[in-house]
């Protein structure tokens, strides 16, 4: 089974084109103003028109209100919703209300953190294991942090899952080999500066993934 890749935090046509051309299976639009990768509804709408049907558009949210979700879904024609800092109950409610697949982020630093994934059984369709950020961090991800990939070895996954947190072209092959991830998610690892995607880095990342 090939490894697939999501390029997250895209905000410009040229780097979105690089993600599509490189074979990304998913692209992510961030709807969270504190993030340097935040896109407005107008930006997302324009970018969404450039995404072919075989690539899924994922909206990334942090504990969102329904009104935000509704506007983002319409603007970006989202295929899935990725939730950070949302309870299983809220994830289930959002999935039922929007009728879209839900990716639930689980922040990981220690093996015990993985257990939170089990609570999303029946509430989400995919788990995104991401590195836990500091308690005082404004952002739940996209900070280039990684966790110990060996923590995932032998874990009984309740749902399909993806690996995120500190990935880049230099380490994604090792990360996939150690964790057995079949979907990987990258954001800061393909940037030249926070929020500034780099087409060459996107191409290199996706080339490496394609070889796995």
pLDDT of residue 55: 98
Catalytic residue among 53, 130, 168, 185: 130
Taking 90 as the threshold, does the pLDDT of residue 61 lie above it?
yes
How sure is the predictor about 21, in pLDDT bands with cuts at 50, 70 and 90?
very high
Mean pLDDT of 112-140: 88
For 161-175, write each residue's pLDDT tens digit.
999 999 999 999 999
Instruction: Respond yes or no: is residue 53 known to be catalytic.
Output: no
Instruction: Respond yes or no: is residue 130 known to be catalytic.
Output: yes
Does residue 203 contact residue 18 with C-beta atoms inside 8 Å? yes
Taking 60 as the threshold, does the pLDDT of residue 141 lie above it?
no
Cα 144 from Cα 188, distance rounded (Å): 6
For 40-54, write each residue's pLDDT tens digit.
999 999 999 999 999
pTM reported for the whole predicted model: 0.95
For 26-42, write each residue's pLDDT tens digit.
999 999 999 999 999 99
Mean pLDDT of 17-29: 98
C-beta neighbour count of 166 within 10 angstroms: 19
pLDDT of residue 22: 98
Average predicted confidence (pLDDT) for the chain: 95
Helices 66-76 and 41-48, packing angle to 10 deg: 30
pLDDT of residue 137: 58
Q: Which residues are bridge partners to 4 per DSSP?
A: 183
What is the DSSP code string of the chain? ---EEEEES--SHHHHHHHHHHT-SEEEEE--TTSTTB--HHHHHHHHTTS-TTSEEEEEEES--HHHHHHHHHHHT-SEEEEES--HHHHHHHHHHH-S-EEEEEEESSGGGGGGGGGGBTTBSEEEEEEPPPTT-S-SS-S-----GGGGTT---SS-EEE-SS--TTTHHHHHHHH--SEEEESGGGEEETTEE-HHHHHHHHHHHHT-
């Amino acid at each position: 089974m090939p490894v697939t890749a999501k390029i997250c935090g895209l905000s410009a046509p040229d780097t979105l084109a690089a993600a599509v051309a490189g074979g990304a299976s998913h692209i992510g639009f961030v709807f969270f103003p504190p993030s340097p990768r935040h896109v407005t509804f107008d930006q997302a709408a324009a970018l969404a028109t450039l995404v072919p049907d075989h690539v899924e558009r994922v909206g990334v949210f942090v504990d969102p209100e329904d009104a935000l979700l509704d506007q983002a879904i319409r603007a970006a024609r989202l295929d899935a919703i990725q939730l950070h800092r949302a309870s299983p109950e809220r994830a289930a409610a959002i999935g039922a209300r929007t009728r879209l697949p839900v990716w639930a982020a689980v922040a990981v630093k220690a093996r015990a953190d993985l257990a939170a994934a089990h609570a999303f059984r029946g509430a989400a369709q995919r788990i995104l294991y991401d590195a836990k950020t500091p308690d005082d961090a404004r952002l739940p991800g996209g900070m280039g942090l990684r966790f110990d990939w060996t923590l995932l070895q032998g874990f009984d996954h309740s749902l399909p899952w993806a690996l995120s947190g500190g990935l880049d072209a230099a380490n994604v092959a090792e990360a996939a080999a150690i964790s057995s991830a079949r979907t990987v998610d990258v954001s800061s690892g393909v940037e030249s500066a926070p929020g500034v995607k780099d087409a060459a880095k996107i191409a290199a990342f996706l080339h490496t993934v394609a070889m796995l």
